[in-house]
A and B are shown apart, each in its own frame.
Chain A
Amino acid sequence: MPAFRHEVLVVGSGAGGAMAAYTLAKAGHKVLMLEAGRDYDPKTETPMFQTNGEAPLMGASTRDKNFGFYDATVDGGWQVPHEPYTTASNSEFLWWRARMLGGRTNHWGRYSLRFSEHDFKGKSRDGLGADWPFEYQDIAPWYDKTEELVGVCGTNTGLDDMPPSPEGILQPPPQPRIPELLVAAAAKKHGIPVAPMHRAVLTRPKDDRAACFYATPCGRGCSIGAAFQTTTSLIPMARATGNLQVITQAMVKSVDVDDNGRVVGVTYVDKHSVEEHKLTARVVILAASACESARILLNSKSRKFPKGLANSSGQVGRNLMDSTGAYLGALIPALKGRPRYNEDGHTANHLFIPWWGHKMQEKGDLDFPRGYHFEISNGFSQPGAWVGGNLQGYGPALKQDVRDHYGAYVGFALRGEMLPNPGAYMEIDDKVQDKWGIPVPKFHFRWSENELRQVEHGLKTARLLLETMGATVGDVPAAEKAISKGGEIIHEVGTTRMGSSASDSVTNQWGQTWDCDNLFVMDGGVFASNPHKNCTLTIMTLTMRNATWLAGQLDKGML
């Protein structure tokens, strides 16, 4: 094999890293990718059709497999052995990691909603947080290309929170199910829209990926490639160009600079030998996840950059944002004992409730600034370790009670925008190192009144919809109690945010760090705000745009 001479090092193989590698490889640039976990192939490793009954503990979540036995996540979860993190004494924060090729794209929810003009310019509108350094129209063509490459099903709804895709981009969405149709009717009564979810799941074949066959949950990964993950798409496609090579089990410790402060490469620990190696490159792209990339930068101290690399603004690790989360569900008596049919579908929301409050906010009718959406939980799902019902007594009547309650519950999962606040950030805990000798992150986290009022509104709305469907709900919990813990929704972003000024941001609009022109960040860390719509599609879109720009710079010899 001829020697592979890479120009670019990409740290991470998830949504950002794989898209960066794919885009550069397609443009003819040689890329070496470093992944901190093991190699992983969904074609041979995904449990398709295995039942909960065949799994230990009926597939239930455990500390080893936080999302259940069959979840695709390898060597990851809220805790990774030998790779601790710490939280400040008054903070709760959970840091999800996946140590595997493809990262979290192997198990993500595949919800793929475009950010809108509202989302990119929130500060211009309400004075809070930060604007992004471009307009929606700048990134819209890149959403088009990304949606086409990734494969997204859904429709153009005409709603102001869901910018349209050009004709022919979106694949047809699956038919709605009964509880979703009931929710839609209840919502319509109150003027709340319900729309087909956009999901990165193929309903038509694409490349060498098959269309969804509507069975087995996408969180397990997808051996047929219908549910998007980088390990069945971007990574093999990039490898096929001959321009991508991958080193797995490579835990990056720092980005290295020369005496002039120019980035020369990275230092990583090979997890097999626990030895350090240095690699050089013309350009380094960090896409290790928002908090991991910020951690690498903060740990990359040098004489020229004593508070960490690319941190002259002091913003590395700041502006840590997750999505808000809350849940309210109830038994819908009218759905008890309803007729059975196969309700798996593409195993997640066919319909959802997008944010409908932009106009109300313009008029000043709401007491919180940013939006949320509702995901609807319902359905005849595969039996597992939980049963619903009154669950009294025993014998045939008890069994009948369980059968009657099966598929009769509906729940609303709120996902909303969090604004950055000074109490939510990460730093390095100098006292704690992981097994690889790398100082670990220390998290500080709190919600502000903005998020609490938003959740309060969401809970009231969910109760209204449940009651409209005939449920008895009672008092809703207080927002402080109902709101998720920081990190729990696994949408953490913002820790290396982009902006239009080197004084208050870490990168420019291309993900290029203000301090080092051959160092880029291409993961959720660059988000200037965290709209309610799930970050992955926008991570990929931004990365495609910015890696294309980077390829142009390389071609022009600018870097």
Chain B
Amino acid sequence: MTEQQHSHHYQSGMTRRESLKWLGLLVASSTVSMVSGCGDWTHTAQSGAGHWPDLKLAPITARGYGQDPNLLIPPESPWPKTLTAAQLELVAILSDIIVPREGSVPSASQVHVPDVIDEWVSAPYSVQQQDRVTLLHALAWIDDEATLRFNANFAALDPQQQLAIVDDIAYDNEHTAEPFRQIAGAFGRLRSLVLAAFFCSPVGTRDIGYMGNVPIAGDYPGPSDEARAHLEEVLADLGLSDCAYSG
């Protein structure tokens, strides 16, 4: 099914590539050598301005899991996944930039975050379909940007080149240059999903420090001594020590 489905999802790559060439001519060859961090507006405008992929995405037509799914053994593949191998690879690279390996804590792709993203953007629900539009455009934009700057897909760039692009799009705030506003928002959505998927994994759940979901025999013990001591400090700092709860 993949071949057929992908041809439905995307406008011919050639057409878009051709328009990119046009754009490349317009923004001139200086784009390749430009850029680092937060460039000034006119500088970044040359790469970021003016291009936003025009994808024609067919709606997801799969069925949802319905109103009475098996909750004990949740469906592993509730609907067909739709990302191409190239898109999955790009998601994996970006996921590992967002959540890299840290010591013994694995990176996002090592705990299968890209599969979660694939399941998410392939889901037949409204929130996820909106995210699919956002994320697939972001992925296409990132490859387009890589092509414009370095004349290769993002996956083919060296880590420094990859970070040069990510640095421009990973901050969505009042300093974000106008040309990167849209992609910064879209990248932010990817970032949130990658983080959520990472922290939902068993190692991520340990990493964030969630200690629940274990049965307790007897009464709930309440906060630890350390947590209570911390609260006392907080109450003191806020001038609330005299108002401490006494049951």
Contacts and interface: CB of A to CB of B under 8 A. Distances in A.
Contact of B216 (A340, A342, A406, A470): A342
A339 B230 CA distance: 7
A501 interface: no
Contacts of A60: 127
Interface in B205-247: 205, 207-217, 219-224, 226-228, 230-231, 234-235, 237-238, 240, 243-245
A341 B210 CA distance: 8
Interface string A36-63: 0010000001110111111111101011
A341 B228 CA distance: 10
A391 interface: yes
A394 B240 contact: no
A343 B102 CA distance: 26
Max count, chain A CB within 10 A of own CB: residue among B166, B213, B224? B213
Contacts of B171: 392-393
Contacts of A178: 223, 227-228, 230-231
Interface residues on A, range: 35 or more
A383 B196 contact: yes
Interface in A172-208: 172, 174-178, 181-182, 184-186, 188-189, 194, 203
B211 A340 contact: yes
Contacts of A341: 211, 223-224, 226-227
Contacts of B188: 391
B64 interface: yes
Nearest to B245: A184
A342 to B, nearest CB: 4
Interface in A260-314: none
B13 interface: no
Contact of A387 (B166, B199, B224): B199
A340 B209 CA distance: 6
Contact of A346 (B201, B220, B240): B220
Given A64-B64, A75-B68, A338-B227, A395 B97 contact: yes
Nearest to A389: B195
A439 B130 CA distance: 35
A65 interface: yes
A184 to B, nearest CB: 4
A189 B240 contact: yes
Interface stretch (B49-57, B115-123, B132-140, B144-152): B115-123
B238 A175 contact: no
B34 interface: no
A471 to B, nearest CB: 11
B68 A182 contact: no
Contacts of B193: 385
Contact of B67 (A75, A398, A470): A75
Contacts of B240: 182, 185-186, 189, 468
A470 B238 contact: yes
B227 A339 contact: yes
B196 A385 contact: yes
B118 to A, nearest CB: 12
A204 to B, nearest CB: 10
A81 B63 CA distance: 14
Contacts of B212: 215, 342-344, 380-382
B119 A185 contact: no
Contacts of A194: 245
B209 A177 contact: no
A382 B64 contact: no
A461 to B, nearest CB: 16
Contacts of A84: none
Interface in A60-78: 60, 62-65, 69-70, 73-77
Contacts of A75: 67-68
A403 interface: yes
Given A76-B67, A380-B210, A396-B102, A57 B119 contact: yes
Nearest to A351: B245
B179 interface: no
Given A81-B67, A396-B100, A176 B245 contact: yes
Contacts of B204: 53, 383
Interface in A324-373: 334-335, 338-346, 351
A380 B209 contact: yes
Given A176-B222, A383-B199, A56 B235 contact: no
B197 A398 contact: no
Contacts of A45: 71-72
A338 B69 contact: no
Interface string B59-91: 000001111110110110010000000000000
Given A64-B67, A69-B69, A394-B166, A399 B200 contact: no
Contacts of B123: 56-57, 62
A398 B78 CA distance: 31
B209 A403 contact: yes
A134 to B, nearest CB: 34
Contacts of A468: 238, 240
A49 B72 CA distance: 10
B189 to A, nearest CB: 10
Nearest to B222: A175
B200 A52 contact: yes
B228 to A, nearest CB: 8
A342 B214 contact: yes
A370 to B, nearest CB: 27
Given A62-B64, A182-B235, A194-B245, A57 B213 contact: no
A431 B17 CA distance: 53
Given A51-B200, A387-B195, A403-B207, A69 B71 contact: yes
Contact of B213 (A49, A345, A346): A49
A469 B243 CA distance: 12
B231 A56 contact: no
Contacts of B228: 178
A81 B228 CA distance: 49
B186 to A, nearest CB: 13
A335, A344, A351, A381 — most chain B CB neighbours (10 Å): A344
Contact of A181 (B98, B128, B245): B245
Nearest to B79: A56
B119 A56 contact: yes
B208 A181 contact: no
A470 B69 CA distance: 43
Interface of A: 38, 45-47, 49-58, 60, 62-65, 69-70, 73-77, 80-81, 172, 174-178, 181-182, 184-186, 188-189, 194, 203, 212-216, 220, 334-335, 338-346, 351, 380-387, 391-396, 398-399, 402-403, 406, 468-470
Given A51-B205, A343-B211, A396-B100, 11 more contacts: A47-B72, A50-B74, A58-B116, A63-B126, A174-B220, A185-B240, A189-B240, A342-B214, A383-B196, A383-B199, A386-B196
30 contacts: A49-B213, A51-B205, A51-B213, A53-B200, A53-B202, A53-B204, A57-B120, A62-B65, A62-B127, A65-B67, A69-B74, A74-B68, A175-B219, A177-B223, A181-B223, A181-B245, A203-B219, A338-B234, A339-B227, A342-B216, A342-B221, A345-B220, A346-B220, A382-B205, A387-B195, A392-B170, A394-B98, A394-B170, A398-B191, A402-B208
